[in-house]
Amino acid sequence: MITKINNVSIYDGRGQVLLNSSIIFNEQMILAVGEETIDEEIDVVIDGKGLSCLPGMIDMHVHLNMDATPDPAALINKDNEAMAAYRSLNNAQKHLRAGITTVRNCGSKYNVDITLREAILEGMFIGPRIFAAGQPIVMTGGHCHYFAIEADGENEVRKAARTQIKNGADVLKLMATGGGLTPGVKPGASQLSESEMHAACTEACHAGKTTAAHAQGNEGIKNAIRAGVTTIEHGVYLDDEAIRLMLEHGTYLVATLAAPYNVIRHGVEAGIPAYAVDKNKEASVPHQESFQLAYTSGVKIATGTDAGTPFNFHGDFVTELEIMEKLGMSVQEIIQAATFTAAEALGFEDMIGSLEVGKLSDIVLVKGEISENISNLRNVHSVFMNGKSIDL
Ligand SMILES: [Zn+2]
């Protein structure tokens, strides 16, 4: 089936806008954009007047088995395997309905995200493309140890990396520092060492996979970059040297600004553990300053939310984008970070992330002009996944 959208504003994901334009696609791929035409007959024509069209968005940091409840650790410890799987499916579909056609799941207990990816690929359920980490790899007692593989020393970390690759992970999640949502660990403190993470990155590289390092403290961030990780998650305490290393290594920043924003906004009154609120409050200003330093220095930025953390709801991608705009990015830059740059960080930019001929037809229509107001991305009109309209 061939679909054409007419009279629409096209945001192509690579910084270009085509006003009053058109796009043609079938169930495999995009066939024409802008002035281009095709010889075959069009089956469905959609009038795109008043709508904006962009590539399916990509959330680079979600936890599908967390539910944005005040205390994610309590939920994870309570759920059995089946409940974690149902919860993950339910949350995955929230992303798709919000126009997020691809998510990278940065850690789940029981590897449920890997299994869910397979169930969706088999056609059992409608859902977004999932790039799954499964269980993170952490030092003994490290950040999120309650759902991770604990490994110490290069050999154990290498074994854990190989195990996750064998289990079907697309990306290896490594904990380079402590974090806000694990009691007793300091966000600034280094955890896995550079050599331990290097062992995991080498295995990922051999297997054609990527790596993501949870890295808040400055030394842990630098350890992770030097070890060769693909993306730095959070990046709370960046300095000039960290920026220089990121530029040198081509490391991406996935800032997840919405995570501390929501923790601080709701606070202990909403039931968030005091240790989490205190740690997030302490990190909030340096986090935003680090983001601005990375952006102005030209570090590659890919958008991720940490959805599933307290009051950080699955599918509420736009809160992150609104914060990025407040911190100085232009609408075009934000769209690119949420589409093409994210696809690049997944190593999948030949297939998704922009509206170009030959790319998979993951396409979103929203009401209103995005350049006039980024919040218009909340007003989803329709979502096409593989060229098929999703029932919202
Ligand atoms: Zn996370």
From CA 366, how far away is CA 376, in angstroms rounded?
7
The answer to whether the CB of 52 falls within 8 A of the CB of 366 is yes
C-alpha of residue 175 to centroid of ligand 1, in Å: 10
C-alpha of residue 71 to centroid of ligand 1, in Å: 14
Q: What pLDDT is attached to residue 36?
A: 83
Indicate if 124 and 163 belong to the same structural domain. yes
Q: Per residue in 295-304, is it b (16+ CB within 10 Å) or e — as a string?
A: beeebbbbbb
- Is 313 in the same domain as 358? no
- For ligand 1, the distance from its centroid to the CA atom of residue 282, given in whole angstroms, is 18
**CA dihedral over 355, 360, 362, 363, signed as positive or negative:** positive
Centre of ligand 1 to C-alpha 294, Å, is: 20
Query: In angstroms, rounded to a whole number, what is the distance separating the alpha carbons of residues 381 and 84?
Result: 30
62 and 50 in one domain?
no
Strands across the sheet containing 231-234: 149-150, 137-138, 171-175, 210-215, 231-234, 252-254, 300-301
- Domain harbouring 236, CATH code: 3.20.20.140
On whether both 30 and 156 belong to a single domain, the answer is: no
What one-character-per-residue DSSP string does 237-264 give? S--HHHHHHHHHHT-EEE--THHHHHHH
Please give the backbone phi and psi of residue 231, each rounded to the nearest 5 degrees, phi first: -130, 140
- Distance in Å, CA 10 to ligand 1 centroid: 32
Which parts of 72-188 fold into alpha helices (H)?
A: 72-78, 81-97, 112-121, 153-167
Specify whether 46 is located in the same domain as 162. no
- Ligand 1 center to 81 CA (angstroms): 20
C-alpha of residue 1 to centroid of ligand 1, in Å: 39
Give dist(CA 161, CA 154) in Å, integer. 10
- Domain total for the chain? 2
Question: In this structure, are 43 and 68 located in the same domain?
Answer: no
Which is nearest to 357 in space by CA: 95, 28, 21, 8? 28
- Domain residues for 29? 3-56+353-389
Clarify whether residues 357 and 233 are in a common domain: no
Contact 366, 54 (CB under 8 A): yes
Q: 189 and 108 share a domain? A: yes
Q: Are residues 215 and 230 in the same domain?
A: yes
Alpha-carbon distance 164 to 337, whole Å? Answer: 28
Read off the pTM: 0.97
DSSP calls for 83-105: HHHHHHHHHHHHHHHTTEEEEEE
Dist. CA 197–CA 195, nearest whole Å = 5
Residue 43 shares a structural domain with residue 105 = no
What is the predicted pLDDT for the residue at 37? 82
| Contact assessment for residue 257 and residue 287, using Cβ atoms and an 8 Å cutoff | yes
Q: Return per-residue pLDDT of the chain as tens, 392 residues.
A: 999 999 999 999 999 999 999 999 999 999 999 988 888 899 999 999 999 999 999 999 999 999 999 999 999 999 999 999 999 999 999 999 999 999 999 999 999 999 999 999 999 999 999 999 999 999 999 999 999 999 999 999 999 999 999 999 999 999 999 987 676 767 789 999 999 999 999 999 999 999 999 999 999 999 999 999 999 999 999 999 999 999 999 999 999 999 999 999 999 999 998 988 998 899 999 999 999 999 999 999 999 999 999 999 999 999 999 999 999 999 999 999 999 999 999 999 999 999 999 999 999 999 999 999 999 999 999 999 999 999 87
Using DSSP bridges, classify how beta strands 231-234 and 252-254 pair: parallel, antiparallel or unpaired.
Answer: parallel
Find the 215 Cα to ligand 1 centroid distance in Å: 10
**What is the 180 CA–ligand 1 centroid distance (Å)?**
10
Q: Please report, for residues 105, 124, 137, 151, the alpha-carbon distance to residue 116 in angstroms, rounded to integers and kept in the order given.
A: 11, 10, 20, 25
Please say whether the beta carbons of 159 and 147 come within 8 A. no
Specify the pLDDT at position 185: 67
Provide the 10 A C-beta neighbour count for residue 51: 22
Element (H, E) at 212: strand 210-215
Residues 34, 22: contact at Cβ < 8 Å? yes
Tell me which residues have their CB within 5 A of the ion that is ligand 1: 106, 306
- What distance in Å separates the CA atoms of residue 135 and residue 105, rounded to the nearest whole number? 10
Select from 342, 334, 340 the least CA-distant residue to 373.
Answer: 334
Enumerate residues 6+ apart whose C-beta is below 8 A from 120.
92, 126, 127, 128, 129, 130
Measure 123 CA to ligand 1 centroid, in angstroms. Answer: 27
Q: At what angle do helices 274-297 and 240-249 cross, to 10 degrees?
A: 60
63 CA to centre of ligand 1 in angstroms: 6
Note whether 381 and 330 are same-domain residues.
no
CATH number of the domain where residue 37 is located: 2.30.40.10
Instruction: Quote the ligand 1 centre to 60 CA distance (angstroms).
Output: 10
Q: What is the pLDDT of residue 392?
A: 73
Residues 380 and 300 in one domain: no
Q: Cα separation of 184 and 141, whole Å?
A: 9
